[in-house]
A and B are shown apart, each in its own frame.
Chain A
């Protein structure tokens, strides 16, 4: 919001060279994205097909949903490292609820989201009440959850016919309605996870950039003392941020579970890193140099386009993490170094 508000004033004073630099700074990610898409299309015309574009969006939807949560915690000056573990635990929990407890889709979704919110609340308790530094608190929570999700099944992945630790066999199965969350698409074109991603992105964009809650969230991250002295309930705002982040992470886990249709102990391995990368790449979008939900979405899509295109050009899968890392390093260099205001 601030950057947009500043533009008219900036334009009046800036000379043309500054104007060009401004455009480069705020548009660099978009220009690169367009260049990538043109390049990939020239090399492999199938790239630009609707089906492929939708599969890119589907592939990034979970990362974007988690990234939006990270963005909110970054806005309050915190950092949620537990989201990957929350998402993985949610995959396990959703599978457990349906296969072991025999619950239906609706009850499972509600319970899993509540679980994510509760973990967010627990994070907030550690950070706000016990004053544990955010990185340490959420790192510890990540550790705890990674271990906890193995205990109910004695370390086994969850699929129908699971043999429980007490020797009995689970009788439930995945609710077909639940699977539609991950596997159906609107009009046969837009996958449901993409629609979920869009709803989350729009809702959080409006929340962070257009509402007074958003203003106060950023104020807490910008200057907590000043916000408190202005009457802002900083503790409650931070709690809200972690609850949002935990809930979104569990939503991401639901989408993953609904796609793969089983509770895999190794699911969600790279989600944390990818989501964090998306929100950090987002700093470079529009040259804002701060967490912002729109940037996070663009960051996730950018990485998705790059990976998809490279895969089409037969780049081996093991180069993926390297590519993501390179994009992140480049985006951060752009944000903090090259595009720095003079």
Chain B
């Protein structure tokens, strides 16, 4: 992102364009609310009628008019100075009046483009483009806001250029899954995007309440509430922060699963979700570093799983792993795994996957020996691993059982570890570290000789 700003020769045919005129409002609507709020606070003693009668009416109107004018001028300037341009090699975004910023991204380095719709933008039918550029770890290039159909079209054009294809191709290839009743493209453009998973809202809410952290959190809040009602006044100091912390965590989970759809695209898969904001991510299979399939305690009875991935770059700002399936049955898991990890390195892919997400030593899984029982009484039967031709599958966890899949060529480094109690029982573990998130291959408490043999064999597979 550090090329010179001057556009390449021969691209002058593509003019600078401005974003949608409502963009400053979407960015700054909070400021307007704030102004109104301040006005209301300062005229608190007046009744509704007094505000708009007699001399006050003139002052109110004049004041509001001036404020509106100032805001409009700022909005206009902000809009006027925000311009973007697409050439055959770069995307340029200029913004700012006093503090100008000129950003550009090389199109051949663009790895993915996400479309985001904050609440107000969605009400106005606008969308923001977020460019995910290979050579910059942070500072995502953003272009906001465009009409939603324009945003999709532009995204498609840029992705095509990034792939080296000609822009003449039909632009509505892979986005249709996101907005089913899109009036902008009359074709039933589903041919390239078969729906792989969809999360019904009822199941999402049930799945959230069937997790132990949620149950414990709810019980804690409830007991504090009971204490408070029964007269322990001081407990309120603990209640408010816990309810807030729990509530925000819960909302985040809800938001990440709301209206969740996953569909296949020509490079990998696309997901979209969101309660207030609609988010879309494209996840090219080639950039997935590790996958984990989790089954929390109560979900196991229902046969539900959650799938998360470590993926380079495309994640939003937070450091969490990217959910590619908030809750789903084995069929959905198998479909998603088939896209993200098409070659599991075994012939009976489906059966191996079934063993991986449950318990058992079929298909060559090597488990913890029975002498691991005192160290992990709940988990030792589940713990185990399998190294296939392409991937290391490892199972671990007690209440929430996890299986992680790390392809050999994605392993960044490995650790062999042995604590004092494991040494006494001739056990050891191996961790396979990957990039792009916190999912690791977690080979836990297996026979020490097997562990040593495994890591030695694994070094030959990594190269």
Chain B binds chain A: no
